[in-house]
Each structure stands twice: as structure tokens, then as C-alpha cells.
Amino acid sequence: MSKLYIYDSMQNKKVVFEPLDTQNIRVYACGPTVYDYAHIGNARMAVVFDTLIRLLRYLFPKVTYVSNITDIDDKIIERSNLEKVSTESLTNKFSKIYNRDMKMLNVQEPDYQPKATEYIDEMIQAIAKLEKEKYAYFSDGHVMFNVNSFKSYGALSSRKQQEQIAGSRVKVSSYKKNPEDFVLWKPSKDNEPFWKSPWGRGRPGWHTECFVMATKILGTPFDIHGGGLDLKFPHHENELAQSCCFSGNLDNKKSYAKYWMHNGFVTVDAEKMSKSLGNIKLVKDYLNIYNGEVIRLSLLSAHYRSPLNWSEEVLLQSKNILMKYNKILDALKNLVIIKNTKENKIIIEIEKALLDDLNISKAFSILDASVKEINKKNEIEKKYIKEAIEFLGEIVGIFIARDDLASSKNKKNLNLNEINILIKKRNEARKNKDYKLADEMRNKLLTMGVEIEDHPEGTKWKEI
């Protein structure tokens, strides 16, 4: 097996992935804050890391994948006040919706999907330890992480504190010793959810949950820590700082995660999809129009680190690609393949592309080339092609729900009987060379939303 290369955001370069334990690869990726419907950006993160996990599972005997859900946070509180529901019912609702939508995109559930509120005790213990060891301080009801206590702060995002301050928009709160200090524990107002703690009634800051849950579930160091690029700073930087100080590994920035991976943004009209710009696209809205695989492949159409411009063109292109391969798979459905991955030159090439930091476009170009003259190939070659398509499909997470690329919600209730009668009538008319009548039948079917294709073996139809 060749080596897996991944781009490590800590080193800012592509490196050979060398597992800490080849018998169990451990990965943590930051999931969403659930106070609204999942958007395309959430989906990109989920799909990218799901694809990485699929590849790792192909390469290694065991992979443990953790991806959290943030279910306590200021925005959640704000939204629950607005909708006059409890934070629990709000986050329950949207975490279910998130999981449902991701399932539609063939995203496999993580092995663990911890929620912040399930780890409050552990967070309190961790914060107490940081405070006791002077990495954090108590100030005006808040426990703050003291950035000055960790001299490697900024290593992940290549930032130096002083240079950030000039153009910085960071608010210097009165309870901060240093502008970059961040909240580990904050006091809750009377109408806000709270947990009892040594610092009074309050709730944890955002950056603590991931570090605590990753440490608790995976143990440190683990192999890969991932998430969206916007989390690199400050979220991941802050997780790293807490973890290094917590474990006493002040000089070892790999003591938390060995590698860091970040996926790029989804853009709309070349601008970042973001809440403040109001150009958020929701997964559920696209699931009304497209099959989940179309959306998934669209999300993988650009390399995971590049920006991905979300557009109808991308979706249409993905749909066409899926239709093409589904047709080929359909034509090859009676071929029985013998799993012979190591001998299959197409797979060897595809594997090489995937092992190069998930170069899916390259992998597809190899597949496209192999398929190009499929009609001229003999049976053995066709078996290799089929095996290769299924191989790539498995890693990329497509070609699972075949035949039907229309959204299931978009289905019309068609009268099968009527369709068959019309097709029969049309074929009779064709036999009699009454093409005018034949075309009438076809137009009638079209108005019903049925498109027909004449094949040597008979007339086929599909929904449009």
C-alpha cells in the first residue's frame, strides 16, 4: 500500500500520514452549533470528513471518529428566547434535523457524537485544573484563559499576538487581562440556562467542550483534528492552548492532535456563505430538488481545501456525472466482479489520487478515461471497470441510491397503467408509420412528466 498524504494545517504543507496507532486511527472533527437548519457549509464539513473517514477505513483496520454537536451557546439561548422554547427542545430538534439531512447525503454517523451539555462536569474539572495551575484566572464572574501563560499561542494559525492587535476588532472586556484571553466559564443571567460550578451559576465557553470531549473520548494525542477553516482561529488555537496546558505539554504542540485538517468555505457568487451576509443556503431546500448524492458530489466537486462556489451549474454537472455512471453500472449489473483490487490497474491509479490528500477530481478523471471506450472492452476489462466505479463510489459515498436522482419529495404520483397504454399506442402508431399520432402520444406523456426513450430492446421511460 502506498502512503497517505494529507495537508497538515499546523505545518502548512502536505505530509505523510503516520498513525499514532495503526490499529486504531482516531479523528475528531468539530460539528455544528444546532440552533437552525443545517446549511451547505455544515454539509461540506460533514461530507469532507466522512469521505476522509471512508478512506481511512479502507486503509486501516479501525477508525474511531468523533464529531460533536454544540448544544449550549449564546446564539442558542438567543434563538430559544426568540422562539419561546427551551434550549433543550431547540437543540434536540435541530440536531435531529442535522442528522437526518446528513444521512440524506450518505454521511455515516460518527462513532461518537457527543454534546457539550453531556460533558459539563468534565469541563468544570478541566477548567478548575487550568485555574489552579495559573493558566486561567477568575475575573468578574468569568474564568478566563490567560493567553500569556502559553508561549506557543498562535502556533496553529501562525499569528503573533502583538501583530494582530493593530487591525483587530477584538473587544477588550474589562475582565480580560489580555485582549486575546478567552472565556472558559461565563456567568449565566437569571433567565439563562446554567450549571452549578465553583465560580457560581454559569455555562462553559465554546472552546472548552471540544478539547474536553476529544480528550475524554479519544485520549491525547490523537491523529487528526478537523473542522472548517473558520475554526482554525480562534477555536482550534484555543483548544490547543487549553490541551497543552492541561496536559503539561507546553512545548509539544503535537501533544493534542498530531495533524490538523481544515476544509475550505462554501461561497455564493464568490463570497463566503455566512450568517452576517445573509447568503446561507440550507441543505433541506436542496434536498427538495435534488437527490442527496447530487448534493454530496457537488460538495466534493472542488478540492476540499479550496473554496467551493455553490451554484445550480455545479449541481447540474454532478447530476449528469451521476446519471452517466449509474447508466454504466446499470449496463454492467449482471457482471459478477471478483474483488481483485490489488490487480486492478484502474483502482491502483484511483487509490493513488485519493491518497494524495483526497484528490477526488483526479480520481474521477482516471475513471472517466477508463470508461471512455467501454464498448470496445472485453468482459474482464469491464469487470475491472465496474469494480473501479464501485470502489470510488464507496470512498466518495455515491452510487448507493441508484436509478432515481430526482428528490424523493419531488415525486409525482404517476399512473403506471396509463403510461403503459400510451406507450403501447404510440408503438402501434409507429408500426403503422402514423408518426403524427405517435408524436401526439409522446407529447401527452411529456405533459404528464414522462420522458421516453426508444431502445432496441423496447421503449423505456423515466420521470422528468
Q: Pick out residues in 47-106 that bind RNA (CB under 7 A).
A: 70, 75
Among 329, 438, 445, 450, binds RNA (CB under 7 A): 438
Could you tell me the smallest distance in angstroms from the CB atom of residue 455 to RNA? Answer: 6
What's the distance, CA 138 to chain centroid? 37
Alpha carbon distance 219, 112 (integer Å):
13
Residues 6+ apart with CB under 8 A from 135: 145, 146, 149, 150, 242, 245, 246
Q: For residue 399, what is the DSSP state?
A: S
Among 164, 178, 247, 407, binds RNA (CB under 7 A): 164
CB-CB neighbours of 171 under 10 Å: 7
Residue with smaller CB distance to RNA, 54 or 236: 236
Among 106, 117, 208, 359, binds RNA (CB under 7 A): 359
C-alpha cell at 110: 460518527
Q: List beta partners, residue 182.
A: 145
Are the CB atoms for 239 and 211 separated by under 8 Å? yes
Residues 6+ apart with CB under 8 A from 445: 419, 422, 423, 426, 451, 452, 461
Residue spans of beta strands (DSSP E) within 241-384: 257-263, 266-268, 271-272, 308-309
Alpha carbon distance 140, 362 (integer Å):
55
Per CB under 7 A, does 302 bind RNA?
yes
Could you tell me the smallest distance in angstroms from the CB atom of residue 290 to RNA? Answer: 15
Residue with smaller CB distance to RNA, 60 or 65: 65
Among 317, 352, 377, 390, binds RNA (CB under 7 A): 317
How many helices and strands in the chain, by DSSP H and E?
A: 15, 15
Per CB under 7 A, does 420 bind RNA?
no
Residue with smaller CB distance to RNA, 19 or 357: 357
The residue behind cell 420522458 is 451
Per CB under 7 A, does 235 bind RNA?
yes
Residue with smaller CB distance to RNA, 275 or 424: 275
Residue with smaller CB distance to RNA, 414 or 464: 464
Among 2, 86, 306, 420, binds RNA (CB under 7 A): 306
Alpha carbon distance 304, 163 (integer Å):
29
C-alpha cell at 71: 448544544
C-alpha cell at 444: 401527452
Alpha carbon distance 401, 292 (integer Å):
9
Closest CA to 43 of 314, 360, 280, 214: 280
- Write the burial class of residue 306 (CB in 10 Å: 0-12 exposed, 13-18 middle, 19+ buried): exposed
Residue spans of beta strands (DSSP E) within 61-219: 63-67, 136-139, 142-145, 182-187, 202-204
Among 321, 329, 354, 422, binds RNA (CB under 7 A): 321
Residue with smaller CB distance to RNA, 63 or 299: 299
Closest CA to 218 of 33, 57, 103, 62: 62
Residue with smaller CB distance to RNA, 284 or 305: 305
Per CB under 7 A, does 320 bind RNA?
yes
Residue with smaller CB distance to RNA, 20 or 37: 37
Residues in region 118-157 near RNA by CB under 7 A: 157
Per CB under 7 A, does 221 bind RNA?
no
Per CB under 7 A, does 393 bind RNA?
no
From 195-203, 286-294, 364-372, 407-415, give the range in contact with RNA by CB under 7 A: 364-372
Among 230, 381, 390, 404, binds RNA (CB under 7 A): 230
Residue with smaller CB distance to RNA, 132 or 431: 431
Per CB under 7 A, does 159 bind RNA?
yes
Are the CB atoms for 113 and 121 separated by under 8 Å? no
Residue with smaller CB distance to RNA, 238 or 344: 238
The residue behind cell 474483488 is 339
Question: Mapping DSSP to helix (H, G, I), strand (E, B) and coil, where does residue 227 land?
Answer: strand
Among 362, 377, 402, 425, binds RNA (CB under 7 A): 362
From 196-204, 228-236, 284-292, 399-407, give the range in contact with RNA by CB under 7 A: 228-236
Could you tell me the smallest distance in angstroms from the CB atom of residue 356 to RNA? Answer: 6
Per CB under 7 A, does 375 bind RNA?
yes
Alpha carbon distance 351, 344 (integer Å):
10
Could you tell me the smallest distance in angstroms from the CB atom of residue 84 to RNA? Answer: 21
Among 439, 443, 449, 463, binds RNA (CB under 7 A): 439
Could you tell me the smallest distance in angstroms from the CB atom of residue 329 to RNA? Answer: 12
From 24-32, 139-147, 244-252, 409-417, give the range in contact with RNA by CB under 7 A: 24-32
Are the CB atoms for 92 and 80 separated by under 8 Å? no
**Count of residues near RNA by CB under 7 A:** 86
Could you tell me the smallest distance in angstroms from the CB atom of residue 263 to RNA? Answer: 6
Residue with smaller CB distance to RNA, 44 or 115: 44
Per CB under 7 A, does 430 bind RNA?
yes
